[in-house]
Structure 1
Amino acid sequence: MSFKILIVDDDREIRKVTGIYLENEGYKVLKAENGEEALKIISEKKIDLVLLDIMMPGIDGIETCMKIRETNMMPIIFLSAKSEDLDKIQGLTSGADDYITKPFNAMELIARIKSQLRRYTRYSVVQNASKNIIEIGNLSINTDTREVAVGDKDVRLTPKEFDILELLARNKGMVFSIQKIYERVWKEEFYRSDNTIMVHITKIREKIEENPKKPIYIKTVWGVGYKI
């Protein structure tokens, strides 16, 4: 299995050199020069681990880390020139799994990446063993009891709303057209003028999203459909 690692740093040379280290170890490497670009990549691709700089223009590493943690549980390792204990504590409490100070030793970086990926892979296996529970960020879906919760708040969905949410959640990252959702959930032929799916998606968002107008779970892929 070839893991995908995202390097997020505004220093082009660090992105280049770190990328070479990782590619030599057999990892697939993606790169972003700021937090905004990183969040876009993570929303579109499955990333297994993030190397994240703290001091960046725009959204800094701390805020980027917190936004990633809203919907993703992959390991995050901070790479930072800030070496004070307080900086490390702030980085780890924002949701990161590890913190390495620049300049770093390439062998140490690789060792820490392998350690985090081993831990994450074991965790994923345990999660997958319990197929009846789907967890995405603070969203929890129990497919046996058909119960949904966001954090510690229970959410009451209609049977069709639950079926749509389960379909998207079981296929995280996959885009489903309105027609495909309708035919999978209703098991009937779809009529182009039917706005049933849009109405149901709106209602689901009102129940599970903190801000339905800026959803973090059910995303619209314009002109294509919806995905989680």
Structure 2
Amino acid sequence: MDEKLLLVDDEKGILKMLKNLLHQEGYTQISTASSGNEALNLVETVAFDLIVLDVMLPDIDGFELCQQIRKITSVPILFLTARTGDLDILMGLGIGGDDYITKPFNPLEVAARIRAQLRRQNLIKSSNIRQEEILDFGIFAVHKSAGQLIVNGIDTHCTAKEFELLVFLCERPNRIYTAQQLYEQVWGSPLQGDEKTVVIHISKLRKKIEKNPSNSCILVNIRGIGYKFVPPCKG
């Protein structure tokens, strides 16, 4: 496999274990960093396909580092950390993380989530060779093969998972999906009982495409069931 992975953690034992495991899974281009500055230097020089990022680094807080990385690339970022509080999870997903795994962790689960993220990324890349497809809803348009969200004529930044989630819902208007179904379809792996990842991504999308995000009429929450996309009226 030719995907380039970056593992960032100040625990050398974790870096070694994950690198060995991923080598066994067939990934050969794996870089490691044990500090935030080292990781940032690598991101600025190498086009990585996925980043596994610890939060508690010796020099830069992982959340701050994620925000700096997001200025450079939108590749999936998977947080792997001992900070298990709800606020930490919300923070990680809210600033641009695509997934959040807490320590102690099952190494095989980490490998499975990495595979799922990369599989989704490869599907997006392969779509670039196809004819441009645009989902136009008036106040916003989704340019699928270009990976662009245009809101009121303005190119609006989305992380990879935000864009995939929006495309999935836009292609299936007025259909209700549970958080578990959305996670399994977009993230590509079973939801382990925590719906915060989906909730945060829905919230971030609402802020980008809704006039009144707190009273959503496009990405609608059906209480106790799930979410559905209601196409806005053009005009």
Partner of 1:48: 49
The structure, 1 or 2, with the larger RCO (C-alpha pairs under 8 Å, 6+ apart) is 2
Q: Which amino acid aligns with 1:101?
A: T
When the two structures are aligned, how many residues end up with a matched partner? 144
Q: Percent identity?
A: 41
* 1:123-134 matches, cutoff 5 A: 123-127=124-128, 129=130
CA contact (8 A) 2:51 2:77 kept: yes
Q: Which amino acid aligns with 1:91?
A: G
Partner of 2:101: 100
TM-score (norm 1): 0.56
Partner of 2:58: 57
TM-score (norm 2): 0.55
Where 1:108 maps in the other structure, the secondary structure is helix
C-alpha spacing 1:67/1:137, structure 2 compared with 1 (3 Å): farther
Report the Cα distance in structure 1 between the residues aligned to 2:129 and 2:51, rounded to whole angstroms.
22
CA deviation after TM superposition for structure 1 residue 151, in Å: 5.4
Partner of 1:23: 23
C-alpha spacing 1:71/1:128, structure 2 compared with 1 (3 Å): farther
Partner of 1:77: 78
Report the Cα distance in structure 2 between the residues aligned to 1:127 and 1:89, rounded to whole angstroms.
32
C-alpha spacing 1:35/1:130, structure 2 compared with 1 (3 Å): farther
Instruction: Structure 1: state its 5+ residue gaps.
Output: 141-148, 153-228
Report the Cα distance in structure 1 between the residues aligned to 2:46 and 2:70, rounded to whole angstroms.
15
C-alpha spacing 1:46/1:101, structure 2 compared with 1 (3 Å): same
CA contact (8 A) 1:71 1:137 kept: no
Partner of 2:89: 88
C-alpha spacing 1:135/1:86, structure 2 compared with 1 (3 Å): same
Partner of 1:10: 10
Partner of 1:120: 121
Where 2:97 maps in the other structure, the secondary structure is coil
Residues 171-204 of structure 1, C-alpha deviations (whole Å, 9 max, x = no match) = xxxxxxxxxxxxxxxxxxxxxxxxxxxxxxxxxx
C-alpha spacing 1:135/1:41, structure 2 compared with 1 (3 Å): farther
CA contact (8 A) 1:6 1:50 kept: yes
CA deviation after TM superposition for structure 1 residue 93, in Å: 0.8
Instruction: Structure 2: state its 5+ residue gaps.
Output: 133-142, 158-235
Where 1:42 maps in the other structure, the secondary structure is helix
* 1:176-215 matches, cutoff 5 A: none
Where 2:13 maps in the other structure, the secondary structure is helix
CA deviation after TM superposition for structure 1 residue 46, in Å: 1.8
Report the Cα distance in structure 2 between the residues aligned to 1:137 and 1:50, rounded to whole angstroms.
22
Report the Cα distance in structure 2 between the residues aligned to 1:61 and 1:20, rounded to whole angstroms.
23
Where 2:100 maps in the other structure, the secondary structure is strand
Report the Cα distance in structure 2 between the residues aligned to 1:104 and 1:84, rounded to whole angstroms.
15
Q: Which has the larger radius of gyration?
A: 1
Report the Cα distance in structure 2 between the residues aligned to 1:44 and 1:71, rounded to whole angstroms.
10
CA contact (8 A) 1:51 1:79 kept: yes
Where 1:78 maps in the other structure, the secondary structure is strand
Partner of 1:35: 36
CA contact (8 A) 2:44 2:72 kept: no
C-alpha spacing 1:44/1:15, structure 2 compared with 1 (3 Å): same
Q: Which amino acid aligns with 2:104?
A: P
CA contact (8 A) 2:78 2:98 kept: yes
Q: Which amino acid aligns with 1:22?
A: L
Report the Cα distance in structure 2 between the residues aligned to 1:57 and 1:107, rounded to whole angstroms.
27
